[in-house]
Amino acid sequence: MIDSLFHAYAPLIFWSGLGFVLFRFIPERFPKLLGLALYWVGVPLQLLVLGRQTELSHGGELIPLVAVGVLLLSMGLALLSWWGLPGLSRGNTTESSPESPKNSLLDFSFSNINKLGRASLGSFILASMLGNTGFIGLALTQVLFGTENISWPVLFSVTSNVVGNYGIAVFIASYFGRSDSKNHWWIQLRDVLTVPTLWAFIIGFSTRNIELPSSLETGLEQAVWVVIAFALLLVGLRLGSVHGWRSLKRAWMPTLLKVVIVPMLVGLGATYFGLTGDSRLTLVLMSGTPTGLSVLILAEVYELDRELLASSIALSFVGLLLMLPVWLVCFG
């Protein structure tokens, strides 16, 4: 088990570590250009391949609903946490009138958050909601359950990516990445409908029964690993910009939600509905994956709080290592 987990995490450590080392030697604009390239080319290619590999198995038709439910649960808990913890929502992140109590939930509205606060709140929600189901989630489930029982994790990952990372998350990033005066509902709708990842998955899923030349299939699968390598490199580059404890202390709450509270609630809910064993553990692991790499890509595109997101990725990776034995004991 330890040896298998080591092999699963080796690419993560190598490529993110390389990005961390190269941070001081590359042009300042390179991370943004890399993020844009992943958004428009890399991740759509990955979802095209996953779409071609997606099959609905017994019970699998419910997995997309579960994945969407986990996204909405995480988003709701993130908003409650932001509003409920004064250290997150007060200070320089809100503009309150002298007559309005700073702690009042009733007086809170998105329109009274300044530009810095908007970017931080949007990043806080994304860090709490979006998991690395495509790389870490699938790698862990393959290690634990084998490739023959991968249909549920693949469906969960695809749903999280299409509906979450490049659906709901694009709407959130588009809204909080713009000032209130420039926001209109049709702008967010346009941003979601023009996400290249959405259309790439639709094309991949609709053509999954069309057989391609073996050389092309192999090339597409190898290209996915190239995309993962560049995504991890971007993580390392952004981790190089983290400024010590000041940055990390802002990320503790999204990390707690992402790798502790949400998977615990999912595990308890699965137990209540009669799921046990590998099926229950699959849902717990996929809902408790660390903050996804896609948040950094969205941060580059929509000018969100990169520092908070990079810190959340770092802390949630550590959190996963600490919580994995707990999930195996409680829900395995």
Each residue of 76-86: b (16+ CB within 10 Å) or e?
A: ebbeebbeeee
Neighbouring CB atoms inside 10 A of 209's CB total 7
| Half-sphere exposure of residue 7: CA atoms within 13 angstroms, side-chain side | 7
List the domains of the chain with CATH numbers.
Answer: 2-9+31-91+110-331 (1.20.1530.20)
Reported as type and span, the H/E element at residue 239 is: helix 214-239
- Alpha-carbon distances of 171 from 21, 190, 194, 235, rounded to whole Å: 33, 9, 11, 22
Neighbouring CB atoms inside 10 A of 41's CB total 15
Q: What is the pLDDT of residues 116-156, one digit of tens each?
A: 577 888 899 999 999 988 767 877 787 777 655 677 887 88
Q: What is the pLDDT of residues 188-211, one digit of tens each?
A: 566 666 677 778 888 988 888 888
Judged on CB neighbours under 10 Å (0-12, 13-18, 19+), 229 is middle
Cross-strand bridge partners of residue 291: 131
| Half-sphere exposure of residue 130: CA atoms within 13 angstroms, side-chain side | 33
pTM over 0.85: no
Which range, 121-130, 219-228, 304-313, has the best average confidence (pLDDT)? 121-130
- 132 within 8 A of 157, measured Cβ to Cβ: no
What lies within 8 Å, CB to CB, of 216 at 6+ separation is none
Task: Provide φ and ψ at 99, rounded to 5°.
Answer: -80, -15
In this model, does residue 68 exceed pLDDT 60?
A: yes
In this model, does residue 76 exceed pLDDT 90?
A: yes
The pair of structure tokens assigned to 146 is: 């084998």
Instruction: Using alpha carbons, select from 247, 263, 214, 264 the residue that is nearest to residue 313.
Output: 247
Span 279-295, average pLDDT: 90
In this model, does residue 14 exceed pLDDT 80?
A: yes
Cross-strand bridge partners of residue 131: 291
pLDDT of residue 185: 54
Task: Provide φ and ψ at 189, rounded to 5°.
Answer: -65, -40
